[in-house]
A and B are shown apart, each in its own frame.
Chain A
Amino acid sequence: MRKALAVARWEFIEKVKTKAFIISLILTPLFMIGAFVLPTLLITKPDTEPRIIGVIDETNDLGKLLSNKLEDKFKLPDGKPNYIIRHIGNRALLDLEEAKKEADNLVVKEDIEGYLIIRSTIYNDSVFEYRAQNVGNIKVTERLNRTIRDLIIEKKLKAENLDPEVIKKLTFPIELKSVKISKTGEEEESDFKTMFFSAYIFIMAMFILIISTGQLLVRSMVEEKSNRIIEVLMSSSSANDLMVGKILGLSALGFVQIGTWALIGIAIALKFGTAIISLTSALVLLPFFILGYLFYAAIFVGVGAPLSTEQEAQQVTGYLVMILFIPLLLAMWIMQDPNSPLISILTFIPLLTPTMMAIRIPIQMPSLFEILANIIVLSLSTVAAMWAAAKIFRTTVLSYGKRPSLKELWHYLKSK
């Protein structure tokens, strides 16, 4: 065990000092912020200048109503209206084609953001057109759509001779607030987004840890093989100590990495005041996180030890990562019915257990029995995987060139 610690110490200290590690430690969160956080912030960021939207109105009054309503409802931070409606075409004698040409010109000149065509048939078919250079601006289209829908419903209700006050009550916007009830009957406020997000964060953390440590493990074995240091190592320490030391040292490295990123993540989350993941879920997930991680580490060792080139190593780690991703493809299905028997069975497959649990636990806590049973199965599989990995490591770490066949691997496992 002392030797395992010496190996762990070496692997950790020598790698933690490398430029590559320090750079990835700093750059990855910056990249994540750049790639995911900034765009979201930009989308939700309010406009600072009013946007001018053209209207070609065949109904005579809807355009005006829309203008009032938009100005009333959406305001810029300084109090000015966010959207200004500009009527296009001769209102009394509208020539649609002529107006369209004029509006198109304005769009191209960027005088207006885009324009609406409200046909007189709108009360019957509820269709209107929005034309712009950028129809991908979801915020604008969504707001226009909602406002016009409300206006039309209001008008229709008015036509039924309803009291304007009643109409106001009836068309009051509805917002969905979902409350999750946990096993103990407590209420927990959550909606689909935060639920998915907490599963997502957990899975991402595990992916990063497994992939980065796994690759480090495989690469370090391949390196020692190619520079033949492995012979000196094997003459100094038992194969088991060597393997355990490597896993310990490189895991510590992985946990430092993920820990740093987690701290940054939590800091950002606190700043924006969103609770990302509930404490209970996190605690239940922790054993799956650690066991799953060790299970995969053993597999990486077993698969990596017989390899002798970097290219082979990359190929093989690629395949392993794919297996890890399978539950994500099933995520939607799992969310619809997290406790179906088939999903329970799939969860018991050790390769899938950690990710399956990561998706299931935040959505609906599985029964205590199922959680314990899964922990036991995963623990046993991890021990078995470690044992097999040590065997394979011991026998193949000195072989070069050809990869062992399945028959040979089986033979290694049976050897003392």
Chain B
Amino acid sequence: MLSVKNIRKEFSTVVAVDDVSFEVKRGEVFGLLGPNGAGKTTTIRTILNIIQPNRGDIFFDGKPFDDAIRNKLGYLPEERGLYKKNKLLNTIVYFATLKGVPQTEARKRAYDWLKRLDLLAYAERKVEELSKGNQQKVQFIIAILHNPELVILDEPFSGLDPVNQIVLKDLFMEMKDKGKAIIFSTHMMEQAEKLSDKICLINHGKVVIEGKLSEVKSRFGKNTVHIEFDGDGEFLKSTNGIDKLLLYENSAEFEINDHQGVTNLFALLTQKLKIRKYEMIEPSLHSIFLSMVGGNKIKKSEGVSL
């Protein structure tokens, strides 16, 4: 469906995106990950032809961008906004007609979606009367009403309550089943882990890791331990033989780097904590993210302070 090849985008002095490449196929959910300011939004805008890259190419089913492709793309921008003074239904219909959907058809579909997302009561109300979360749902409708083949959602989950997050997740799966390609960006790794088939992690405009989620994870090995416990896990911070510790109130995730010491470690754990669960797992995306991105940051800041 989409292939992005070696794109680079500069803004006067900053290189926002540097040599980014990836592919997205139909029926695939693609997570574009990275910390704030990594270049996710710039990459997305380049794909949508809102801005032009300084270098590199973008192909849709092997063809470069043209006007016909616009109607096959759906977009939910990160910065949310709608016309405030206009009526909900009219606004949705307008954006659909801009994507080539005939007026009457657009109206029909808009009613269906409003009904499905519990917004029917607001159809004839002004947009400004809606809550932020509801406005976001409206924007989501706008992104998909014309039945696009590639949907690009920039931070779709931010600002949604848990109930609506589930609604959105179900919609993701539905579109995936219909063979749509979905790209979404996020810096919330739990979401990405649950939804993505493929990920691309970018930092400072460069691709750090890219590939199928399962492959990425196995690349990071199966020597990660996840435990759930009662008690004070503080001592883990100073325990030898473990790495990349993520310590929470009642659980922890870490990597074992000293395989000889595993038995000792297990003894130590059972002695100090009441262990409820112990498993060897693939590292979570969160941990990969931190080791790839967070690590860099720490090194950098050290460099500065020295």
Partners in one complex: yes
Chain B 207-229 interface 0/1 with A at a Cβ cutoff of 8 Å (1 = within): 00000000000000000000000
CB–CB B82/A7 < 8 A? no
User: Interface with B: A49-57, A194-202, A229-237, which one?
Assistant: A229-237
Interface centre among A223, A226, A234, A238 (most CB of B within 10 A): A234
Report how far A18 CA is from B75 CA in the complex, Å. 29
CB–CB B77/A233 < 8 A? no
Q: Is B80 close to A, CB under 8 A?
A: yes
Q: Is A96 close to B, CB under 8 A?
A: no
Q: Is A227 close to B, CB under 8 A?
A: yes
Q: Is A335 close to B, CB under 8 A?
A: no
CB–CB A235/B81 < 8 A? no
Report how far A226 CA is from B84 CA in the complex, Å. 12
Interface centre among A7, A10, A231, A237 (most CB of B within 10 A): A231
Q: In the complex, which of the residues A10, A227, A232 contacts B84, with contact meaning CB atoms closer than 8 Å?
A: A227
CB–CB A232/B77 < 8 A? yes
Determine the residue in chain A with the shortest Cβ distance to B50.
Answer: A234
Q: Is A69 close to B, CB under 8 A?
A: no
Report how far A226 CA is from B100 CA in the complex, Å. 25
* Nearest CB on A from B228, distance (A): 42
Q: Is B286 close to A, CB under 8 A?
A: no
Determine the residue in chain A with the shortest Cβ distance to B70.
Answer: A236
Residues 82-112 of B contacting A (Cβ, < 8 Å)? 82-86, 90, 94-95, 97-100
* Nearest CB on A from B284, distance (A): 32
CB–CB B77/A228 < 8 A? yes
Q: Is A6 close to B, CB under 8 A?
A: yes
CB–CB B81/A398 < 8 A? no
Chain A 237-258 interface 0/1 with B at a Cβ cutoff of 8 Å (1 = within): 1100000000000000000000
* Nearest CB on B from A358, distance (A): 36
Report how far A392 CA is from B242 CA in the complex, Å. 57
CB–CB B77/A3 < 8 A? no
Report how far A238 CA is from B100 CA in the complex, Å. 13
Determine the residue in chain A with the shortest Cβ distance to B48.
Answer: A235
Q: Is A78 close to B, CB under 8 A?
A: no
* Nearest CB on B from A393, distance (A): 13
Q: Is B73 close to A, CB under 8 A?
A: yes
- State whether A236 and B77 are in contact (beta carbons under 8 Å apart), knowing that A229-B82, A398-B50 are contacts in the complex: no
Chain A 198-227 interface 0/1 with B at a Cβ cutoff of 8 Å (1 = within): 000000000000000000000000010011
Chain B 30-58 interface 0/1 with A at a Cβ cutoff of 8 Å (1 = within): 00000000000000010011110000000
Q: Is A2 close to B, CB under 8 A?
A: yes
* Nearest CB on B from A305, distance (A): 14
CB–CB B75/A232 < 8 A? yes
CB–CB B84/A231 < 8 A? no
Report how far A351 CA is from B73 CA in the complex, Å. 41
Q: In the complex, which of the residues A18, A228, A232 contacts B85, with contact meaning CB atoms closer than 8 Å?
A: A18
* Overall SS of chain A's interface: helix
**Interfacial chain A residues near B85, Cβ < 8 Å:** 18
Report how far A224 CA is from B100 CA in the complex, Å. 21
CB–CB B70/A237 < 8 A? yes
CB–CB A236/B50 < 8 A? no
Q: Is B67 close to A, CB under 8 A?
A: yes
Q: Is B182 close to A, CB under 8 A?
A: no
**Interfacial chain B residues near A14, Cβ < 8 Å:** 83, 86, 90
**Interfacial chain A residues near B97, Cβ < 8 Å:** 6
Report how far A235 CA is from B146 CA in the complex, Å. 13
Report how far A3 CA is from B95 CA in the complex, Å. 10
CB–CB B77/A231 < 8 A? yes
Q: Is B181 close to A, CB under 8 A?
A: no
Report how far A235 CA is from B77 CA in the complex, Å. 10
Report how far A229 CA is from B143 CA in the complex, Å. 12
CB–CB B81/A6 < 8 A? no
CB–CB A228/B100 < 8 A? no
- State whether A233 and B98 are in contact (beta carbons under 8 Å apart), knowing that A227-B81, A228-B77, A398-B51 are contacts in the complex: yes
CB–CB B94/A6 < 8 A? yes
Report how far A18 CA is from B83 CA in the complex, Å. 13
CB–CB A235/B83 < 8 A? no
Report how far A234 CA is from B80 CA in the complex, Å. 15
**Interfacial chain B residues near A236, Cβ < 8 Å:** 70, 75, 95, 98-99
- State whether A238 and B67 are in contact (beta carbons under 8 Å apart), knowing that A7-B98, A232-B95 are contacts in the complex: yes
* Nearest CB on A from B58, distance (A): 13
Residues 129-149 of B contacting A (Cβ, < 8 Å)? 139, 142-143
* Nearest CB on A from B56, distance (A): 16
**Interfacial chain A residues near B75, Cβ < 8 Å:** 231-232, 235-236
- State whether A228 and B80 are in contact (beta carbons under 8 Å apart), knowing that A233-B98, A235-B50, A235-B73 are contacts in the complex: yes
**Interfacial chain A residues near B70, Cβ < 8 Å:** 235-238
CB–CB B99/A227 < 8 A? no
Q: In the complex, which of the residues A6, A227, A237, A398 contacts B83, with contact meaning CB atoms closer than 8 Å?
A: A227
- State whether A10 and B94 are in contact (beta carbons under 8 Å apart), knowing that A227-B82, A227-B84, A232-B75 are contacts in the complex: yes
Since A235-B73, A236-B95, A237-B98 are in contact, a sample of 7 more A-B pairs with Cβ atoms closer than 8 Å, ordered by chain A residue number, is A10-B94, A14-B90, A227-B82, A228-B79, A234-B48, A235-B49, A238-B67
Chain B residues within 8 Å of A, Cβ to Cβ: 45, 48-51, 67, 70, 73, 75, 77, 79-86, 90, 94-95, 97-100, 139, 142-143
Chain A residues within 8 Å of B, Cβ to Cβ: 2-3, 6-7, 10, 14, 18, 223, 226-229, 231-238, 398
Q: List 30 A-B contacts (CB under 8 A).
A: A2-B100, A3-B98, A6-B94, A6-B98, A7-B98, A10-B94, A14-B83, A14-B86, A18-B85, A227-B82, A227-B83, A228-B79, A228-B80, A228-B81, A229-B82, A231-B45, A232-B75, A232-B95, A233-B98, A234-B50, A235-B49, A235-B50, A235-B70, A235-B73, A235-B75, A236-B70, A236-B98, A238-B67, A238-B70, A398-B51
